[in-house]
Chains A and B, each alone.
Chain A
Amino acid sequence: MRDKRTSVKDALFEPPGPKTQKIIWAVTALSLAALAALIVVVVRRFYETGQLDSKYWSIFTKWTTWKFLGKGLLGTLEAAVVAGIVTFAVGFILMVLRISGSIIASAVSTALIEFTRGVPTLLFIYFFFLVVPKFGVKLPAFWKICLPVSISACGVVAEVLRSGVNAVPKGQKEAAQSLGMMPHSVFLKVVFPQAFRFVVPALISELVIVVKDTTFAYVVNFPDLMQNAKVLISNYDALLSVYLVVAVIYIVINWLLNRASVAAAHRTGK
């Protein structure tokens, strides 16, 4: 609820003087020229290699194409939402164990956090895709993508939440204790709600990674946006056009997530 907002820009740079202003203009103009040149080169290459032919783009005039991509988008969103919830739940438990007084619980949790943060998502996916079935456990494709993506992200979420808890001033806990509140109440009603508000932006960034990790669904044949895009590509031989459209869809999803995080941060008065 501060009236004055200090942006990173204000904090790092002082306002430019006349000479600096000229340099900024020059660099800006140069960058724009370079960018324009790059776009011209790319578009020309596409044109020369025939990637801009209508046969590659006409598929997007068909309703069935969009329906198929829409189905994939739904798969992506389902996987992302479920993976996001599992990630948060497991991350929360790991964080609580880590900050609990118990040395053993804390050590186990720390080991799990370091392990899940250090191993690439794809390795977990291969584990669920190739190793787990060998033990006779038959998981649906949906869980074969959701579980490894969640496992991969939960360690980071646990650490993000812990940094939030550490950022809550000690006096908040003491005030709650002095009212006679029990430790779990102190944590759930006073400390954690504030910690959560501190880390909403970082959590959303991690959620964006979860969304992007669901593109590994093609490995386990789960029909998400990426998997369906691949099907379209092989059917129509339209590599560039489909990838461009799908990229835009992913950008829109993650942009919306970012907007949501900014809105959430504003609403919680930061």
Chain B
Amino acid sequence: MTAVDEIPDDVVVEILARLPVKSLLRFRCVCKLWRSIISDSSFIELHRTLSFTRAGGNLLLLCFPSVAHWPWRLLFYIDHSEEEGRCNAFRNDFSLSGFSECINGLICQDDPQPQVCNLSTKERVILPTTAMDFPKWIQTSSHCSLRFEPRNNTYKILRTWKVYWSSLVWSPRFEIFTLGSNTWRSLIPESNISVLGHRHSVCVGGTMYWNNLREKNVVAFDVAEERLRLVPSPCRTIHSAIVQLDGRVAMVNYHGLVDGGDSMRVWVQEDDRNGNWSMEKKIVFPSIWRDVKRGMPSFCHLIFETTHGAELVKPEMYGVGCPPSVCNYVESLVSLREIINPNNS
């Protein structure tokens, strides 16, 4: 390559915004100007937007929980921009299991202690253990999820606990952490709220939703107000999944599929406060469904894409003891150090 003269700054920005995070971490030490471009918040935002479509910028993370006799937790990523969809293992720097959804390149997890990581820059922040005062003999389990609140430009972590008073009896507890603060804060819900659906929550317009499994309603958590409340569900929450559809909350009821039928129903939430849902559609499955169901091990999940004509694919994941957690991951330069110490960067 031969040298070129004076390239304008806006062209430099356009080129740098198309590079993987790993290259940018190296190119920060090209010169002071490049370092300031790469650290600039509007550049970080542009880079993240382009990462959605850049080859290698948008990954699918698969994490297999620990299996008995096999102590390793594995995190795979699939680069679906490549034709073959290569599957690579992350180096074992992060022992991730049951991670949250990816928010601006950050994910949080709860094991072995609560932490937030940027997988692209390999930056990690360990959070305080808990503010809960559990007796030593008590068994607990917890799950964390990370949310971004644009109004105050803050990241919050909601953590739900299951506190086992005996092997069968447990009660839920809630706490919240603002990234940059020092302590967890306890949350007291207004009514009887289940934590079971938290792992499968969705976030729409600053509110998280998950199924309140035992009841016919949905848990809503307003991230800014930090308020837990219940909204009515359009159907029984058993055999239902809460999803996001065109930026709105939708409920998919697949009871029909489990019950020997061949259809599922979808409702879309019209109004959060009054709990109005409109019937979106009834989805009838092709006849192949019955054959697929017969040969499907109970632990397998069916994944199908509607964009390519709603084709059902028989899963080929035999031999894996438990379903992996799957999430979409988009590369980002977002700096945890700056979130925690905004004035000291």
**Are both chains from one complex?**
no
